[in-house]
């Protein structure tokens, strides 16, 4: 199983990559991270905690005029990370 420290490190790097590029490739890293988390049986709640911690850390370092962009990027990225959970559990999308 993936360690919490490893997951947090990889999540932080992938999320920063998405903040800098905001493209399909950066989202793909988020999807792959989520896929790896499913395979390694990381709970969606643990993944949400990691997302929140990384997001909070990055937000604290963000200039006020960039906050809205960071929030939008965080939402895009987290949805992509959760896509594998959605597919494996067949939850309806609302």
pLDDT at 69: 97
Q: Is the pLDDT score of 40 beyond 90? A: yes
pLDDT at 34: 95
Percentage of the chain lying above the pLDDT 70 cut: 95
Q: Which helix (H) or strand (E) holds 49?
A: helix 44-60
Q: Is the pTM of this model over 0.75?
A: yes
Q: Is the pLDDT score of 49 beyond 70? A: yes
Which of 16, 8, 11 is closest to 61 using CA atoms? 16
Q: Are 81 and 33 in contact (CB under 8 A)?
A: yes
Give the mean pLDDT of 27-48.
95
Query: For the chain, which residues make up each domain, given as ranges?
Result: 4-89
56: tokens are 């909070």
């Amino acid at each position: 199983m993936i360690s919490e420290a490893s997951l947090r490190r990889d999540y932080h790097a992938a999320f920063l990559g998405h903040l800098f590029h905001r493209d399909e490739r950066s989202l793909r890293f988020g999807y792959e991270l989520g896929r790896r988390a499913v395979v390694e049986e990381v709970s969606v709640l643990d993944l949400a905690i990691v997302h929140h911690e990384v997001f909070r850390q990055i937000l604290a370092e963000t200039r006020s005029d960039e906050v809205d962009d960071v929030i939008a990027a965080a939402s895009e990225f987290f949805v992509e990370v959760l896509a594998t959970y959605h597919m494996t559990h067949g939850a309806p999308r609302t």
